[in-house]
Chain A
């Protein structure tokens, strides 16, 4: 009896680390964590792809800037016109795409973690719809400008998030309840939007319609600063919660059993991710499917068996930069709103996701 209460002592103790991880212990083990080389490589490859795409999207257009001249132009050297186009319009637009994409990727990953459901992204659970309704109401009722629209989007999004959270909450938030309540609220909001549209002047309605597709056209340095500040601030909070979010994916009772403050994590993460989504939508309109697809693609590429916020951010940023390049050049000189491109890419992905999950018997 009582053979072993604690594991064997000494250097012959067998040890284990999970597959695909490498323990890192600097400072004599005072600091220790598990590194995932595969995740690191995926993030680096995505970042490289993003940077290259960004360079291309800055160089092409009606006025071509040679690729070799791009780095100089970014720093303000070279041909006057090169610098004008790169610094004045193309670079801020591309950097906005990076910020918005990263923000949507992280926020989507957090929502999916909390709901333990790939469909638990802000697109599906009504957040995007709420933000769009807020913005459209501001456009049509008050005839507001861009700042007002952004404000309307944030307020609409947060109000919807709060409503969905409260309605879906009963002894904690359950994934399917969140998704179903969100879909219901989405449908209601979209009918309100449709009603407002029928009452509006044609030009106003057209403007609102275009805003709702989501676009990066004409975004400048103010938008870059806004979305990057939101990403650093709110994204920082979410990254700090990242470890706990991975435990939330085991189920709420299990996470609690392991000593995770589930309720606090849920509320802070939900509110912060909502605010981050709001910031992204305020800057670029409700760009669809990035928040849904980026975290899922990232977790499949990293094979990490759970959400990786860094992967989701890198994937979101790269996806949006690529989509925006396609939007600008696919039908040039006509510029598509980037939301059209992400919807095509994301829609295809969503169908594939549902198809494989149904076949796997998970949905």
Chain B
């Protein structure tokens, strides 16, 4: 996978060595995000999936190798130019105490603003549109502090949406949400992908969610990519056992026909 040859996807990385200080997470990693895909990165805890997303979003500078965005090395763009092409929702977002919903979402306009042009009529229209797309229009005048976890995640998504980027990178957007709000956020992601034409890259924990929503699945283990492709081709009992160390059966999801994993019952047989 170490080829640095021609790759015409909008976002890709080759020969990546990813490390925090001296601790190397990945070596010689190569990944291409298919254009117009809903790519989901999955893998066990600490397999390096968030690290890969951080590298793709230039939040983490690779120790070696290069991430390319629209055919150019990502670190050769001015910071705002990257932010006009690629939106990022990190795990570590903090809403300042007392900030209003519309105020927070309006921050997504930053890469389109300048020192003299800080709030144009266009910004107002995009703000309204981002709120409508994420269903938070009615919350506009509330404080972010008052919202539920699910509503808050919609607000953050709206902020990233207000950046108007073709690419959206989401780091575990469903963590800390209950099942209903998880599906809610994933449906919203599918809508952004399908109806608004965004290319999405998300790190998800739940393999069944990934298999249901992804058009392209990237499976990681110990910092390496062990499989990628359409969920129906990638998700097999053998692969899940190899990657997660969990014996499973793979059955078709009764709702969507996508592969669904069911852990094997390992308890001793009861009489």
**B131-162 vs A: 1/0 string, CB under 8 Å?**
11000000011010000000000000000100
Q: How large is the interface on A (under 10, 10 to 19, 20 to 34, 35 or more residues)?
A: 35 or more
Known: A6-B164, A259-B80, A305-B103. A253 touches B119 (CB 8 A): no
Q: Kindly list chain B residues whose C-beta atoms are within 8 Å of the C-beta of A3.
A: 195-196
Check if A16 sits within 8 Å of B131, measured CB to CB. Answer: yes
The one of A4, A7, A19, A247 that contacts B103, using a Cβ cutoff of 8 Å: A19
A199 within 8 A of B: no
Which A residues from 1 to 49 make CB contacts under 8 A with B? 1-8, 13-21, 23, 25, 29-34
Known: A4-B196, A16-B131, A19-B141. A258 touches B163 (CB 8 A): yes
A11 CB to nearest chain B CB (Å): 10
A18 to B124, CA, bound (A): 9
Known: A20-B100, A305-B96. A258 touches B108 (CB 8 A): yes
Which has the most chain B C-beta neighbours within 10 Å: A6, A170, A259?
A: A259
The closest CB in chain A to the CB of B133 belongs to: A4
The one of A32, A243, A256, A260 that contacts B120, using a Cβ cutoff of 8 Å: A32
Check if A257 sits within 8 Å of B94, measured CB to CB. Answer: no
Check if A15 sits within 8 Å of B88, measured CB to CB. Answer: no
Known: A34-B118, A259-B83. A15 touches B125 (CB 8 A): yes
Which B residues from 233 to 254 make CB contacts under 8 A with A? none
A250 within 8 A of B: yes
Which has the most chain A C-beta neighbours within 10 Å: B78, B79, B163?
A: B79
Q: Kindly list chain A residues whose C-beta atoms are within 8 Å of the C-beta of B94.
A: 116, 249-251, 254
The one of A33, A171, A257, A306 that contacts B83, using a Cβ cutoff of 8 Å: A257
Which A residues from 230 to 265 make CB contacts under 8 A with B? 243, 246-247, 249-254, 256-261
Check if B57 sits within 8 Å of A257, measured CB to CB. Answer: yes
B155 CB to nearest chain A CB (Å): 12
Q: Kindly list chain B residues whose C-beta atoms are within 8 Å of the C-beta of A303.
A: 98
The closest CB in chain B to the CB of A261 belongs to: B79
Known: A250-B94, A258-B107. A305 touches B99 (CB 8 A): yes
Q: Kindly list chain A residues whose C-beta atoms are within 8 Å of the C-beta of B111.
A: 258-259
The closest CB in chain A to the CB of B58 belongs to: A256
Check if B90 sits within 8 Å of A251, measured CB to CB. Answer: yes
Q: Kindly list chain B residues whose C-beta atoms are within 8 Å of the C-beta of A257.
A: 57, 59, 83, 87-90, 160
Known: A4-B196, A18-B102, A259-B79. A13 touches B59 (CB 8 A): no
Which A residues from 106 to 130 make CB contacts under 8 A with B? 116
A358 to B184, CA, bound (A): 32
A222 CB to nearest chain B CB (Å): 35
A305 to B101, CA, bound (A): 10
B126 within 8 A of A: yes
Known: A34-B119, A261-B79. A13 touches B98 (CB 8 A): no
A260 to B78, CA, bound (A): 10
A249 to B124, CA, bound (A): 22
Check if B197 sits within 8 Å of A2, measured CB to CB. Answer: yes
Q: Kindly list chain B residues whose C-beta atoms are within 8 Å of the C-beta of A359.
A: none
A223 to B107, CA, bound (A): 40
B55 CB to nearest chain A CB (Å): 12
A299 within 8 A of B: yes
Known: A16-B124, A29-B120, A257-B57. A247 touches B100 (CB 8 A): no
Known: A34-B119, A253-B92, A256-B59. A306 touches B128 (CB 8 A): no
Q: Kindly list chain A residues whose C-beta atoms are within 8 Å of the C-beta of B89.
A: 254, 257
A80 within 8 A of B: no
A360 CB to nearest chain B CB (Å): 9
Check if A13 sits within 8 Å of B128, measured CB to CB. Answer: yes
Q: Kindly list chain A residues whose C-beta atoms are within 8 Å of the C-beta of B160.
A: 257
Check if B80 sits within 8 Å of A7, measured CB to CB. Answer: no
Check if A256 sits within 8 Å of B196, measured CB to CB. Answer: no
Check if A32 sits within 8 Å of B119, measured CB to CB. Answer: yes
A192 CB to nearest chain B CB (Å): 31
Check if B96 sits within 8 Å of A249, measured CB to CB. Answer: yes
The one of A14, A16, A23, A250 that contacts B107, using a Cβ cutoff of 8 Å: A250
B222 within 8 A of A: no
A267 CB to nearest chain B CB (Å): 15
A249 CB to nearest chain B CB (Å): 4
A195 to B190, CA, bound (A): 66
B223 CB to nearest chain A CB (Å): 18
B95 within 8 A of A: yes
Check if A305 sits within 8 Å of B119, measured CB to CB. Answer: no
The one of B20, B84, B116, B141 that contacts A31, using a Cβ cutoff of 8 Å: B116
Query: Can you name 4 extra interface pairs (CB under 8 A) apart from A7-B129, A17-B102?
Result: A8-B125, A19-B141, A25-B119, A254-B88
- Chain A residues proximal to chain B, CB less than 8 Å: 1-8, 13-21, 23, 25, 29-34, 116, 170-171, 243, 246-247, 249-254, 256-261, 299-300, 303-306, 362
Please name 28 pairs of A and B residues whose Cβ atoms are closer than 8 Å in the assembled complex, sorted by A.
A1-B194, A2-B197, A3-B195, A8-B125, A16-B124, A16-B128, A17-B119, A17-B124, A17-B127, A19-B102, A21-B103, A25-B121, A29-B120, A33-B118, A34-B118, A171-B20, A251-B90, A253-B92, A254-B90, A256-B79, A257-B83, A257-B87, A258-B110, A258-B163, A300-B98, A305-B96, A305-B97, A305-B100
9 tightest Cβ-Cβ pairs between the two chains A and B: A259-B83, A305-B99, A257-B88, A253-B90, A15-B124, A259-B80, A18-B103, A7-B129, A18-B102
